[in-house]
Amino acid sequence: MLCTNCKKRPATVHYTKIVNGEKTEMHLCQVCAKEISDFQFNFEPNFSIHNLLAGLLNSMAEPTVGIDYQRNEHCPSCGMSFNEFSQIGRFGCNECYSAFEGRIEPILKRIHGSSVHTGKVPRRAGGELKVKREIDLLKAELDRVVKLEEYEKAAEIRDKIRELEKQLDKNK
């Protein structure tokens, strides 16, 4: 068999790559295999992070292994089980996040040191979150002006908060 890259030298390096669940058979000669591994531009630091994640999942899964076998939950939407997730380190769909909610929480904390998003909120999918965040900000401001005994300002802010809360109720 000839190397699939240069089609000149015999293939001596054989391996299977799995990307996004698709298998690719790789048959390369020594020279091409070396060149490809030396020069494969690593787009993402995924490798180290995925390894880190796999290690994390294993270490965190240990104490509950016995329970896992008894009730290995599945995501109702894509059918992925939590065991499958721990093996490949990827969820099957967005619903997995709610299906495995309780077990993901500590994992996110371990990876990111936090489990609460504080960044960008999309205009449409963000829904009420933008309004809620605005209310939180106004409430903090309210506390501040009350402490300073600026009651006129406080009344204004209270009105604004009420208005926003009405908006939220309407959407329900």
Partner 1 sequence: MSLDDFIYNSKSLWMEGNGPEADVVLSSRIRLARNLRNVPFPHKANLEQADKIIKQVFDAIEKSSEFAGQFRCFRMKELTHLERQILVEKHLISPALAESEKGAAFIKHDESVSIMVNEEDHIRIQTLYPGLQMEKAWQLSTKIDDVLEERLDYAFDEKKGYLTACPTNVGTGIRVSVMLHLPALNMLNQSNGIFTTIGQVGLTVRGLYGEGSKGLGNIYQISNQLTLGQSEEDIINNLKGVTKQIIEHERSAREKLLKDAGIRLQDRVGRAYGILSNSYIISSQEAMELLSDVRLGIDLNLIKNLDSRILNEMMILIRPAYLQKFFGQELNEYERDIKRASLLRDRLKQSEIK
| Interacting residues toward Zn ion by CB under 5 A | 3, 5-6, 9, 29, 32, 75, 77-78, 80, 92-93, 95-96
Smaller CB distance to Zn ion: residue 29 or 161?
Answer: 29
**x-marked contacts with partner 1 along 47-86 as a string, rule CB under 8 A:** -xxx-xx-----------------------xx-x------
The single-letter code of the amino acid at 169 is: D
What string of DSSP letters covers 47-102? HHHHHHHHHHHHHHHGGGHHHHHH---B-TTT--BHHHHHHHS--SSTTHHHHTHH
Q: How far apart are CA 111 and CA 57, in angstroms?
A: 10
Smaller CB distance to Zn ion: residue 5 or 83?
Answer: 5
Asked if 102 touches partner 1 (CB under 8 A), the answer is no
Asked if 129 touches partner 1 (CB under 8 A), the answer is yes
CB burial string 11-50: b at 16+ within 10 A, e below: bebeeeeeeeeeeeebbbbeebbeeeeeeeeeeeeeeeee
What's the N-to-C CA distance of the chain in angstroms?
65
Smaller CB distance to partner 1: residue 70 or 114?
Answer: 114
| Of positions 13, 104, 138, 164, contacts partner 1 by CB under 8 A | 104
Structure tokens at 5: 């890259």
Q: Could you say which of Zn ion, partner 1, none residue 50 binds, taking C-beta under 5 to 8 angstroms by partner kind? A: partner 1
Chain positions contacting partner 1, by CB under 8 A: 6-9, 17, 19-22, 24, 31-32, 35, 37-46, 48-50, 52-53, 77-78, 80, 88-95, 97-98, 104, 107-108, 111-129, 132
